[in-house]
């Protein structure tokens, strides 16, 4: 009859495996490490690391203040309002909002460079198609606010 051979697996010490892993990491993950170093350098230049260090060292103070405010009726309303505004913004087409904000910024910059227009020119511009469309959008929003206020008043 054959004798059973005993096999004992000899595991490398965990320190040795960890040392080997750390030594090979720069070669296996070189590009990621370079990007991480660049990110850290940028964060350091802009003072973000100092801000984080300060926030971490003052964590109890910050958390106590935030928790104290969040426990007030104003804090609760703020959180609820932010959630509603976030949901409302989520329904808007991002391309429309981006284009509108770019057009608004360009218009403000252009108008700041010009001399102020007279009353007749301003009135004529106010009745242009785009100005009327913008006014109608604002009026529709005001009507919605008024309708909601009227409904809430009845409750």
- In angstroms, the CA 88 to CA 82 distance is 10
Closest CA to 88 of 97, 76, 100, 77: 97
**pLDDT cut 90: percent of the chain above it:** 35
Residue 46 pLDDT exceeds 90? yes
DSSP per residue over 80-117, as a string?
HHHHHHHHHHHHS-HHHHHHHHHHHHHHHHHHHHSPPP
Convert the pLDDT of each residue in 57-107 to its tens digit.
887 888 888 888 888 999 899 999 999 999 988 888 889 889 989 998 998
Look over the chain and give the mean of its residue pLDDT values, rounded to a whole number.
87
Distance CA 122, CA 116 (A): 9
Structural contact between residues 139 and 147, judged by C-beta atoms closer than 8 angstroms: no
pLDDT at 116 over 90: no
Domain positions in the chain are: 38-93, 124-154
Cα–Cα distances in angstroms (integers) from residue 88 to residues 58, 81, 98, 151, in the given order: 35, 10, 16, 20
């Amino acid at each position: 009859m054959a004798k059973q051979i005993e096999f004992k697996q000899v595991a490398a010490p965990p320190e040795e495996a960890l040392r080997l892993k750390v030594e090979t990491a720069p070669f296996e993950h070189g590009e990621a490490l370079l990007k991480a170093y660049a990110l850290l350098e940028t964060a350091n230049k802009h003072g973000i690391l100092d801000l984080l260090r300060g926030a971490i060292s003052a964590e109890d103070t910050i958390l106590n203040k935030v928790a104290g405010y969040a426990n007030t009726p104003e804090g609760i309303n703020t959180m609820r309002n932010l959630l509603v505004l976030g949901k409302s913004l989520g329904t808007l087409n991002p391309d429309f909002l981006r284009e509108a904000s770019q057009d608004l910024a360009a218009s403000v910059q252009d108008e700041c460079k010009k001399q102020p227009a007279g009353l007749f020119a301003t009135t004529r511009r106010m009745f242009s198609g785009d100005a009327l469309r913008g006014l109608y959008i604002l009026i529709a929003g005001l009507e919605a606010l008024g309708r909601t206020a009227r409904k809430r008043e009845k409750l």
